[in-house]
Amino acid sequence: MAEESDQERTEAPSPQRLEKAREDGQVPQSRELATFVVLMAGGAGLWMMATGLGQTMSQIVRGGLQFRPSIARDSSHAMAQLSGQFFDAAFALAPFLLLMMVATLASPLLLRGWLFSTKALMPDFKRLNPLTGMKRIVSHQGLVELVKALAKVGLLGVVAVWLIWSNLDAIFSLSLEEPSTAIQHMGDLIGKVFLLASGAMIFIVVLDLPYQLWSYYNKLKMTKEELRQEAKESEGDPHIKARVRAQQREMARRRMMAEVPTADVVVTNPTHYAVALKYSEGKMGAPRVVAKGADAVAAKIRELAAEHQVPLLEAPPLARALFRHTELGDEIPATLYAAVAEVLAYVFQLRHFQQVGGAYPNAPTALPVPPELDPLNASV
C-alpha cells in the first residue's frame, strides 16, 4: 500500500515543477477568456466607431461607383483611384484593428502573463500519431471541450436570435433611410448586437476559468517519490551530504588534534573528558580552549598531550564545566577565571621546576568551580 501511495499523484506541484512547466510552454490558459476579451473589444469598437467608420466607408463606396470617362481611357488613373480608396479604408479601419491587436495581446495578462518558449515551437512528432489524436478526442478533456463548444453555439445562438428579434423593427427601418444614414445606423446596430451577444459568453468564462486552473494544476500534481527525488536534486543526496559532514567533522578533529601539542595544559575528568587550554600573555584576553573531547576523543587528546609533554591535570568538576560551557576557540567563562588561574599557576611552577629545579609543585585541589556550571551537580 505504501508503494501504491508513493506512485499516486496526490501532492501539489512544487515551485520547481511549475517553473519547468512554464519553460516548456505549459501554462494555465483559457481560450474562452481570450475569445471573450477579443469579442468584447471588437463589439465595443464597432459600437463606438460605427458613425465615423460608416461615413468613411460610404464615401469610399460612392467614390468607387462613380464613372469617369478619363479613368476608362487611362488605366493609371484607375490604379491611382483604387490605391487612394484602399489607403482611405485602411486608415478608417486602423483604430479598430489596433484595438483588436491590443485586446489580443492583453488577454494573456488576465491569467498568466506573456510567455515565449522556444520549446513550445519545437516539432513534436507525437502529435502526428493518429492514435494519440483519437485518445485526445475521446478523453475527458475532449468531452469537456465538446460540451463547451455546444454550450457556446447554443448560448450565442439564443442570445443573437433574441437580440435580432428585439431589434427587428430597427432593422426593417434601415431600408427607408438615406444610404449614408442607414450605413451608420446599421453599424451601430451591428455593434450593439455583437457586444451584447459577446457579453453572454461571460457565463461560459466564469465556468471555464476555474476548470482550466484546476485541470492545469491537477496535471502537474506529483507523487511522493517525485517530491523526494526533486528534493535530492535541489538540496543534494542525503547520503552524500552526510558523507560530506562526516569528512568535515574529521578535518575539524584533525585540526583540533594538531593544536594539542601547543596547549599549556590538558584538564581531564580523568577518563571521560579532556579539555586543552592555551594562554599567551599579551595576545589573549583569557585562556582559550584549543581542543576538547569525550571518551575516545578524550583518550586521543591525553595520548597526544603525553607524547608532547603537555601537562595533564586531573580536575573532574573543572573538566566537566569547560566541556559543557565552551566551544573550540572560545575564551573560558569569566566565572572560571579563578579556577583556571590556579591551574595555570601550577603549570608555570611545573615548568620552572623542570627548567631550574627546586621543590616539586603540588597539584591544585578543590578548585573554585561554581556548582551551577558543573553538569554533574545540575543533573542531580
Whole-number Å distance between alpha carbons of 271 and 266: 12
pLDDT at 70: 61
Cβ neighbours around 231 below 10 Å, total: 14
Task: Please check the confidence at residue 40 and state whether its pLDDT lies above 60.
Answer: yes
pLDDT at 118: 57
pLDDT at 235: 61
What is residue 109's three-state secondary structure?
A: helix
Say if CB 332 and CB 288 are below 8 A apart.
yes
Whole-number Å distance between alpha carbons of 182 and 304: 109
Least confident of 89-98, 140-149, 269-278, 294-303: 140-149
DSSP 14-32: PHHHHHHHHHTT-----HH
Banded model confidence at residue 86, pLDDT cuts 50, 70, 90 = confident
In 3D, which of 279, 347, 364, 282 has the Cα closest to residue 311?
A: 347
Give the bridge partners for 292, in sequence order: 275
Give the bridge partners for 266, in sequence order: 276, 312
pLDDT at 279: 87
Least confident of 70-74, 196-200, 254-258: 70-74
Cell 586521543, residue? 300
